[in-house]
Amino acid sequence: MDLTSKKTIRKLLKQHQTQALKKLGQNFLIDKKIIKKIIAELILNLPVLEIGPGIGVLTAELAKRTKKVIAVEKDLKMVEILKETIKEIKNIEVIKGDILKLNLNSLNLKSKKYQITASLPFHIVSPTIRKFLESEIPPQQMILVVQKEIAQRICAKLPHLNILAIAVQFYGKPDILGYISKKSFWPSPKVDGAILKISKICPKFPGIDSKLFFRIVKAGFSTPRKQLLNSLSQGLKIDKKIVKDWLLKNKIQPSLRPENLKLEDWVRLTESIN
C-alpha cells in the first residue's frame, strides 16, 4: 500500500467516513524524498515517539530503523486507519490521546532514552516543544516538520532573537535541515514547511532557576519595541533605577531592545539575581 498516493489516502479516508481535518493540521506528507530525509536523521535503534502519525505514512518507515515506535494520535478515525495500515508491523504501539495532556511516564519507555518525530500544526508547536524540552525525561533529539516561518524563528540569531528561539536554544541546538514545498503535502497547506532538528538536548545551565529565567525573558519581550529598561521595569514591576543599575552591572545597555540580547545575557541577568 502506497501511503504517499493521493488516491490511496482518499480511499482510506472514504472507507473510514472521514476527511483531513484542517483544525488538526492534517496535511499528509506525500513526498518520498522528504520522508527519506527525515528517516536518515534518526538515531539507529533508539525508540521513536511519533506525534500525530495520521494514516501512518512515516510510521512504517520509522519502524524499520528502530526497535520500537510509539505513535500517539488524537483523532480516533486516524487511529482506526493507522491500525489498519500498520497491522503487519509488530514493533509499533498506537496510543489514542492528546500529546499535550499525556503523562510521559505512562509511555512504555523502559530506558527513558528516545527520540521524537512529528508534523506539528502551527498552534501546538511551541507548547509541544516546551513540554518535551522541560520534561524530566527529555528526548535525545526532535525531528519536526513545522511551518517554514516558525522554523526560522526558532533558529534565529542576533539581532533577530525572539522568545521562542530563546526558549528552544536554552535547552538544545535547533537546525533547519531543509525546506518543504507545500506541494509535498495533501491537502496542500497555504505555506511551505521545514524540517527542524533539535539536538544536544541537555541542561546547558544546570544552576539556573528556569522559572525565574523565563519570567525575566517574558518581561523583556512583553513590549519588544521598547527598550529593555522600560520593558523589564513594566514587566517585572520594578523601579526603573533599580533595573538600570541591574542591567549596567551585567554590562548590558538599558537602551537595547530584547532581540539584541544573546541567550547568555539573559542567563547572566538571572544569575545576578540568584
For residues 115-132, give the mean pLDDT: 95
Annotated binding site: 27, 29, 52, 73, 98, 119
User: Please, where are the H alpha helices in 45-124?
Assistant: 59-65, 76-85
d(CA 143, CA 255): 38
Which DSSP letter does residue 181 get? -
pLDDT of residue 226: 86
This prediction has a pTM of 0.93
pLDDT at 108 over 70: yes
- All three cell numbers of 4, joined, read 504517499
Q: pLDDT for 221-271, tens place per residue?
A: 998 778 999 999 999 999 999 999 999 999 999 999 999 999 999 999 999
Q: pLDDT for 192-212, tens place per residue?
A: 999 999 999 998 898 899 999
pLDDT at 184 over 70: yes
Q: Cell 520522508 maps to which residue?
A: 35
CATH superfamily of 210-273: rRNA adenine dimethylase, C-terminal domain (1.10.8.100)
pLDDT at 274 over 70: no
Q: pLDDT for 13-71, tens place per residue?
A: 999 999 998 888 899 999 999 999 999 999 999 999 999 999 999 999 999 999 999 99
Mean residue pLDDT of the chain comes to 95
CATH 1.10.8.100 domain span(s) along the chain: 210-273
| Contact (Cβ atoms closer than 8 angstroms) between residue 69 and residue 62 | yes
Closest C-alpha among 15, 13, 87, 17 to residue 54? 13
For residues 134-154, give the mean pLDDT: 96
Mean pLDDT is lowest, of 13-22, 105-114, 133-142, 188-197, for 105-114
- Indicate the fold that domain 6-199 takes in CATH: Rossmann fold (3.40.50)
- All three cell numbers of 53, joined, read 502519525
Q: Would you place residue 112 in the very low, low, confident or very high pLDDT band (cuts 50, 70, 90)?
A: confident
Annotated binding site for S-adenosyl-L-methionine: 27, 29, 52, 73, 98, 119
pLDDT of residue 110: 64
d(CA 106, CA 11): 34
pLDDT of residue 1: 86
β-strand partners of 146: 194
d(CA 129, CA 74): 17
Region of residue 93 (left: phi > 0; alpha: psi -120 to 50; beta: else): beta
Q: How far is CA 29 from CA 32, 85, 198, in A?
A: 8, 15, 20
CATH 3.40.50.150 domain span(s) along the chain: 6-199
